[in-house]
Amino acid sequence: MPTPIRKGLVPLAFALALPVLPLAAQPAPPTVTVSEPVRRNVTEWEEHIARLEPSARVELRPRVSGQVERVHFRDGQVVRAGDLLFTIDRAPFDIAVESARAELARAEAKLELARQEIDRTSSLVRERFAPQAQLDTRRAAQRDAEGGITDARAKLRQAELERSWTEVRAPQSGRVSDRRVDAGNLVQAGNTLLTTIVALDPIYATFDLSEADYLRFARRGARAEGDAAEPVRLRLADEAEFNRGGRLDFLDTALDNRSGTIRARATVANPDLFLTPGTFARLRLRAGEGDVLLVPDAAIAADQAARVVMTVAADGTVVAKPVTLGPVVDGLRVVRGGILPEDHVIVAGLHLARPGARVTAELRPASPPRLANAQ
């Protein structure tokens, strides 16, 4: 009987004699950098694609017919209002003016004769040597002569006006296009296109507002005319900053049925005439002003349905929060909703964070200049 007990104790003693192996080491949570959102009072801007257009466009056509005598400008020249551009042969119009003056002289002589006849007839009527009817006829002739003078003077002014139209002058300042006729060509009043002038200072920037943008604009009580018109900022394709300023001066009366947008226009100063019609530019329109939260663009991740930021909870757990984004301000992205000022947002090491996983968060004191420069 003692033998079986001894046999059972041998495996137990052998197991107790084996060394105790340590448990497998758990990997440390990955380290990420977090920062609290920057809270700042900012002016938000909406960006639109604008097309530059001249503030005025004039197709220059002659007001009288005749032969072009001389062209007084270079193609593409900048002209001022009143500058002489074309001269039309004025000889036929000089003749018309002389003829009108002769007609006026005849009308004046006719009036003088009518007055003399009235004076002679009046004395004869008083002495009863002539009937009253004869005096009435002389007075009617005088009124006819006075009407003739008025007509002759009007015809003289018309002739002088048409002669002045032989000098075709710029109706306003701007850049003139190429000439469409040369000296020696015959032009027809109102039909022949001489050239085109476009006004460049100021210049228009036209763009389209979506229905949502228009409603946001209207609810802010913003204006598109007058001294309180909304300011805009502009930059060209090769410019990095929105250094050009203007004001919204026109908003169309209705939204387009097909595109669902409404046409808007801003006036931009162009004293050096550098801005050219037809050029595209990026335009910023003020969207609002107030306290907002900002995070670096690098902290924004894409989910299947929305944009999210990864935050770290107090226990080190990664939490994904869907956010509503706004524009970029000074290198930081405006977050309109979805996070709180005290949230710890992952700004570096985002590829190491997974929702629900644990991480080691290193808080980096955030200031707007540092974040903006890092961006």
H or E stretch including 143? helix 132-164
From CA 36, how far away is CA 345, in angstroms rounded? Answer: 6
Q: Distance (Å, rounded) from C-alpha 336 to C-alpha 328? A: 12
Query: DSSP label at 83?
Result: -
Which of 289, 317, 341 is where one domain is finished? 289
Question: Cβ contacts of residue 303 below 8 Å, gap of 6+?
Answer: 320, 322
Closest CA to 197 of 227, 171, 229: 171
Model pLDDT, residue 326: 80
Least confident range from 53-62, 175-184, 240-249, 363-372: namely 363-372
Q: What is the domain-level CATH number for residue 118?
A: 1.10.287.470
What confidence tens digit (pLDDT) does each residue in 132-161 have? 887 778 888 888 888 989 999 999 999 999
Asked, as a colleague might, if the bond just before 30 is cis with ω within 30 of 0, I would say no
Do residues 170 and 252 both lie within one domain? no
The residue segments making up the domain with residue 363 are 31-42+290-374
Q: Is the pTM of this model over 0.75?
A: no
Q: What's the number of domains the chain is made of?
A: 4
**Residue 153 and residue 97 share a domain:** yes
Tens digits of residue pLDDT in 10-66: 454 444 455 554 545 567 888 888 888 888 888 777 889 999 999 999 999 999 999
Sign of the dihedral through C-alpha 135, 138, 144, 147: negative
Asked if 74 and 170 sit in the same domain, the reply is yes
Q: Which amino acid is at 41?
A: N
Determine the pLDDT at residue 281: 94
Q: Kindly state whether residues 82 and 117 are assigned to the same domain.
A: no
Indicate whether 155 and 248 sit together in one domain: no
